[in-house]
Amino acid sequence: MAQELGYLKETPSQTAGPYVHIGLTPNFCNISGVYDSDLGTTMVNDKTLGERITVTGRVLDGAGSLVRDAVIEIWQADRSGLYNSPSEMRGTADPNFTGWGRCPTRAEDGVYSFETVKPGIVPYKDGRKMAPHITFWIVARGINIGLHTRMYFPEETEANAADPLLARIEHRERLATMIATKDGPIYTFDIHLQGEKETVFLDI
């Protein structure tokens, strides 16, 4: 006699919020004793090589309202285009640069900010050169799966035009959503989750 199968029901999904600040950045939320400092707070030190820059911006929803409880993570190459990763086989990355950072958006103004260095050019999987860029991961309440995008640099016009990933974006007018604005060493990169200015997100 065949055994009756007991099928399990699908587990309900949950969003990443509203506790991502507490879980990922407890010191930011005035919860002490978990970490000496929140992971990813500092990417550089006084020995880090490269052009120092600040990357800042806001996360906005489809109505243009600030998302005040998002958490942003970034990862990038160092000034020579090398990653601080065991899988980096092209050379040795700057040991004084983490290549990874984490920052919550502030409740009062929805702003995030990273002190980092401008990354170098890195190869695409087929060997073509990718323009200098920083990869972003965004989580917040209402987001079931973390969102990925990239920030490119406005002054890298030639490199951006040849970038293999940017070349794959069908609607060319949307390229602007992946390019920061520059004011001296400060790059501003606002992330729009929905709406007319929705940032291009990557399925990776």
Enter the tokens of residue 141: 């309440």
The predicted pLDDT at position 136 comes to 98
Tens-place pLDDT, residues 152-204:
999 999 999 999 999 999 999 999 999 999 999 999 999 999 999 999 999 87
How many angstroms separate the CA atoms of 79 and 96, rounded?
Answer: 11
User: Residue 18: its pLDDT value, please?
Assistant: 63
pTM of the model: 0.90
% the chain with pLDDT above 70: 95
What domains appear along the chain, each with residue ranges and CATH number?
A: 20-192 (2.60.130.10)
Render pLDDT for 124-147 as a digit per residue (tens, 0 to 9): 989 899 999 999 999 988 787 899
Count CB atoms within 10 A of the CB of residue 35.
12
**What integer pLDDT is reported at residue 147 of this predicted model?**
95
